[in-house]
């Protein structure tokens, strides 16, 4: 396999973030929208769809299974649903690229189909743990097999019948919960999942939007098999995970005053706002409203002095994808910030704890990686170029986090291996530069 050309970010120090901007549509919701619209009856209109590589991989997978889906145009997609049992066998493996969400959710949806299918991904995805879905799906009667290491590729064979189960998640995971709920659509009886902590509830909300009954009781959510999904119109809000980089950037850069438009503020996703506010951030939610069953708001953030904190355990699952950005906030805060209970960060697109600790150390910040978190002592950010450039390790969130760090750096920052930013935020460089970050990109 030919080596991928290096794609780098170059960030000059200083600047502030000002004005108004809308970050791309929510990636988690975009995945789910394509999946559920494909197995619904009738035509579904989706607005605000994220046109990044991850979401497009999900779209391509359902086209390969016989679903007619228009090319995205300014975030609008039309899906001709084939019904709950209308998917067809693809001609080859389904490549989910870099997306763990797509692979894990799709495994649940495909576990009850009448045809064999193989799910593959890129090198990063092929290292991520899949036993967390393989084991409970097997309990439901699925015939699913991972590699000996418990990773992709996933081989799924037809089964006589799935059966509903009662399952207690060993860790808070919206991906595992959603995987089992989607399998539950094809199971006999009721499937109930118990969560140890609340996680994002996009699947529950969207199933309801498609007219499918979901039973919720505290931290338990249940679905019964055999129902039908009815087409609808979906409006996908801007992604709070993408907005997080600008929330942090405007908080740390003196003179910043930025409004982020139409951002999803689902209560299971607002950990980044809660944590930044606890650190002293000046964040205001404006014009709260509902779009596509999801709460949204315009978010105004202004520069403010931040202080280090011990991050509350209950906020960890609500901000699990936003910690790379939050670690930059911690580096710019006065005092020490400590995160525990976030071992999941070790098995994301990269080991995000180690990758962020290494990069922060190159910028002169004391960052001590812990087994399930990190300890960061705030201080001045230096420079990182040439042989000491930051290595994003192919992880889009690491790349964007260190780009934002340039707002407070004392010298330029060079970030290597940034190509996967296209998976979730294809116009990041343009929007960041528009807002005031002195960033450029370079392909070598």
> 140 and 41 in one domain?
yes
**C-alpha 409 chain-centroid distance:** 27
Residues 371 and 415 in one domain: yes
| Structural domain includes residue 2 | no
Place of tokens 């763990």: 100
Q: Assess whether pLDDT exceeds 60 at residue 4.
A: no
| pTM of the shown model | 0.92
- Please tell me the predicted confidence (pLDDT) of residue 5: 64
Instruction: Please tell me whether residues 202 and 346 are part of one structural domain.
Output: no
Do both 373 and 413 map to the same domain?
yes
The distance from CA 300 to its chain's CA centroid, rounded to whole angstroms, is 22
- Determine, yes or no, domain membership for 1: no
Q: Are residues 118 and 97 in the same domain?
A: yes
User: Domain span at residue 321?
Assistant: 7-25+237-443
From the list 95, 122, 239, 321, the catalytic residue is 321
Domain boundary among 235, 252, 285: 235
Q: What is the pLDDT of residues 346-400, one digit of tens each?
A: 999 999 999 999 999 999 999 999 999 999 999 999 999 999 999 999 999 999 9
Domain boundary among 203, 235, 267: 235
Q: Are residues 197 and 280 in the same domain?
A: no
Q: Are residues 84 and 173 in the same domain?
A: yes
Mind listing the pLDDT tens digit for each residue in 41-92? Answer: 999 999 999 999 999 999 999 999 999 999 999 999 999 999 999 999 999 9
Same domain, 279 and 214: no
122 belongs to a structural domain: yes
| Longest CA–CA separation in the chain, Å | 63
45, part of any domain: yes
Same domain, 170 and 33: yes
Is the domain of 47 the same as that of 193? yes
Q: How far, CA to CA in Å, does 196 sit from each of 228, 339, 405?
A: 29, 19, 34
Among 187, 208, 235, the domain-final residue is 235
Q: What was the pLDDT predicted at 218?
A: 95
In angstroms, the CA 301 to CA 257 distance is 6
Q: 242 with 102, same domain?
A: no
Residue 227 lies in a domain: yes
The CA distance from 275 to 195, in Å, is 22
Q: Are residues 120 and 187 in the same domain?
A: yes
Selection from 341, 297, 306, 300 nearest residue 325 by Cα? 306
Residue 145 lies in a domain: yes
Confirm whether 26 is a catalytic residue: no
Q: What is the CATH number of the domain that holds 314?
A: 3.65.10.10
Residues in the chain: 444
- Would 56 be classed as within a structural domain? yes
The answer to whether residues 134 and 143 touch, using CB atoms and an 8 Å cutoff, is no
- Give percent of the chain above pLDDT 70: 99
Domain count, the chain: 2
- Does residue 133 lie in a domain region? yes
Cβ–Cβ < 8 Å for 193, 220: yes
Ranges of beta strands (E only) in 276-410 are 282-291, 294-302, 336-339, 366-370, 373-377, 390-391
* pLDDT over threshold 90, residue 422: no
């Amino acid at each position: 396999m030919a080596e991928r050309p290096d794609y780098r970010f170059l960030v000059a120090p200083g600047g502030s973030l000002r004005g108004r901007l809308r970050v791309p549509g929510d990636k988690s919701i975009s995945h789910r929208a394509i999946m559920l619209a494909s197995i619904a009856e009738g035509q579904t209109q989706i607005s605000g769809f994220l046109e990044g590589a991850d979401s497009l991989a999900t779209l391509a997978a359902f086209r390969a299974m016989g679903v007619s889906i228009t090319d995205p145009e300014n975030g609008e997609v039309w899906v001709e649903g084939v019904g709950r049992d209308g998917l067809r066998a693809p001609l080859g493996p389904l490549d989910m690229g870099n997306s763990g969400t797509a692979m894990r959710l799709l495994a649940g949806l495909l576990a009850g189909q009448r045809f064999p299918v193989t799910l593959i991904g890129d090198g990063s995805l092929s290292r991520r743990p899949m036993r967390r879905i393989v084991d409970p799906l097997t309990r439901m009667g699925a015939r699913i097999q991972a590699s000996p290491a418990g990773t992709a590729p996933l081989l799924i064979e037809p089964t006589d019948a799935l059966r509903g189960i009662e399952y207690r998640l060993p860790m808070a995971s919206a991906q595992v919960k959603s995987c089992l709920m989607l399998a539950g659509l094809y199971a006999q009886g009721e499937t109930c999942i118990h969560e140890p902590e609340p996680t994002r509830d996009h699947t529950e909300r969207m199933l309801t939007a498609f007219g499918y009954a979901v039973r919720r009781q505290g931290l338990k959510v249940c679905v019964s098999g055999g129902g039908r999904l009815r087409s609808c119109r979906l409006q996908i809000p801007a992604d709070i995970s993408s907005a997080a980089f600008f929330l942090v950037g405007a908080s740390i850069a003196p003179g910043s005053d930025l409004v982020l438009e139409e951002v999803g503020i689902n209560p299971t996703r607002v950990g980044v706002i809660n944590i930044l506010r606890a650190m002293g951030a000046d964040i205001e939610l404006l014009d709260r409203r509902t779009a596509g069953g999801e709460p949204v708001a315009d978010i105004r953030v202004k520069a403010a002095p931040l202080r280090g904190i011990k991050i509350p355990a209950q906020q960890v699952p609500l901000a699990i994808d936003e910690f790379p950005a939050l670690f930059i906030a911690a580096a710019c805060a006065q005092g020490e910030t400590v995160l525990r209970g976030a071992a999941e960060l070790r098995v994301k697109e990269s080991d995000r704890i180690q990758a962020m600790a290494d990069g922060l150390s190159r910028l002169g910040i004391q960052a001590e990686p812990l087994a399930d978190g990190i300890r960061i002592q705030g201080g001045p950010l230096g420079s990182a170029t040439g042989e000491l450039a930051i290595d994003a390790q192919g992880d889009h969130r690491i790349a964007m986090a260190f780009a934002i760090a340039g707002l407070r750096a004392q010298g330029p920052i060079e970030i290597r291996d940034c190509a996967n930013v296209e998976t979730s935020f294809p116009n990041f460089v343009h929007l960041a530069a528009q807002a005031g970050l002195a960033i450029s990109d370079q392909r070598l």
